[in-house]
Structure 1
Amino acid sequence: MFPRRRSPRPEPPLSRLAWLGIAGLAAVLLALSPVSSEGALPDEPDSYRMDAYRAPTPATLTGARVIDTRAAEALWKAKTAVFVDVMPRDVKPANLPAGTIWRDKPRDHVPGSVWLPNVGYGALSPDMDSYFRRGLATLSGGKPDAMLVFYCQTDCWMSWNAARRALSYGYTSVIWYPAGSDGWAKAGLPLDKATPME
């Protein structure tokens, strides 16, 4: 008699092998790939932000102090700093047809703030640069070490740019409040109707 042949062990189905291969490849790629930056804050740029101003901002501003809403509230209550709102404002077009009604978009901000609109763009015209310099000189009483808190809204580069520019003007106690009026309101703190400084 011939010995009985053992039947070979059945191979796993191809689909199972494929899944094992895909899972192994995915694990290798995951281990070798850098951590996803999704949701991470951007790094500080080398210069001013020039476009896309409503976007996530860095966590830092070299030369300035960065504060959260609790610290902003403490400064506001102590009245030890000047709050500078730099939210942009639509400018009435010069060529509007006669009879066109123009209404400014209302702006609510931290009570006691001074609104210097349109000074947070990446590039300022000579007139706007002069307006910003005059405004800061008035608000600081001519003291370069006066505490100045710059803000607009959450995820708004206007305040980052304005604070950076104030540093370039020689102000030494520049404070940036990135949460802005949105963060202030979210904390249940009061807001006032803003009027631009002339």
Structure 2
Amino acid sequence: MRRFLIPALLIASPGIAQEPLFDPAGYRIAHYRAPVRQAPVGVGRIAPAAAAQLRPGRDALFIDVLPAEGGHREADGRWRLAVPHESIRGVHWFPEAGRGALGPGIDTWFAQGIARLTKGRRDTMLILFCRADCWMGWNAAKRLRAAGYTNVWWLAEGTDGWSDLQKPLSRVEPNGGIVP
């Protein structure tokens, strides 16, 4: 029994450094798949059933920020996808835009893409999401609220909650496809 006790004590020891979960601005930067209890300050939380009553592209802009699984950007900014991505029909997909620290060019691509989609209107209803228990939709919602958008909503259950309602998912491509 003793040989199991020592490793358990080492794991629980407060002297062992752990990587931080949040940066100084409050964005989640590690372990993105974990329970999220509440929406960011100034952001509303929308239930999947309520979101399903809206028409993507007409009543609200649905913004998926799930990363491109196994995918990457080429030198010219085009996305190369290893696995097709399915999301809510009519969504705009901005892979990697939900990370706490955005990669080179992603911040500009995301900001310009949202500005283009909203036609500069900061009061456009925006619904941000990824999957259930994922901080990336939360981060993206916080980022857009900080950028001055006033009608930002977080769909905490993401595509998982949409599927639970037996709503269809469709294959989507990255929004605009090119990152400067």
TM-score, normalization: structure 1?
Answer: 0.69
Structure 1's 78 and 128: CA in aligned 2 closer, same or farther, altered over 3 A? Answer: closer
Q: Which structure would you say has the larger Rg?
A: 1
2-side partners of 1:142 and 1:56: how far apart? 33
1-side partners of 2:73 and 2:158: how far apart? 28
Check the 8 A contact 2:60/2:124 in 1, yes or no.
yes
SS at match of 1:51: coil
- 1:12 equivalent in structure 2: none
SS at match of 1:59: coil
1:133 aligns with 2:114: no
Q: Structure 1, residues 75-116: CA drift from partner, whole Å, max 9, x if none? A: 23793100001011134387xxxxxxx752111100000101
1:167 aligns with 2:145: yes
Structure 2's unaligned 5+ residue stretches are 1-23, 75-79
Which runs of structure 2 are paired with 1:83-98 in the superposition (5 Å)? 83-89=62-68, 90-92=70-72
Which runs of structure 2 are paired with 1:169-188 in the superposition (5 Å)? 169-188=147-166
Structure 1's unaligned 5+ residue stretches are 1-44, 95-101
Report sequence identity in percent. 39
SS at match of 2:127: strand
2:163 maps to a residue whose letter is A
Structure 1's 93 and 181: CA in aligned 2 closer, same or farther, altered over 3 A? Answer: closer
1-side partners of 2:39 and 2:128: how far apart? 13
Q: How many matched pairs?
A: 148
- 1:58 equivalent in structure 2: 37
Q: Structure 1, residues 141-194: CA drift from partner, whole Å, max 9, x if none? A: 111111110011001100000000001111010010010001101110011101
1:83 maps to a residue whose letter is F
Match 1:154 to one of 113, 117, 132: 132
1:66 maps to a residue whose letter is R
Which runs of structure 2 are paired with 1:41-80 in the superposition (5 Å)? 47-76=26-55, 79-80=58-59
1:112 aligns with 2:86: no
2-side partners of 1:138 and 1:103: how far apart? 24
Aligned alpha-carbon RMSD (Å): 2.2
2-side partners of 1:115 and 1:163: how far apart? 14
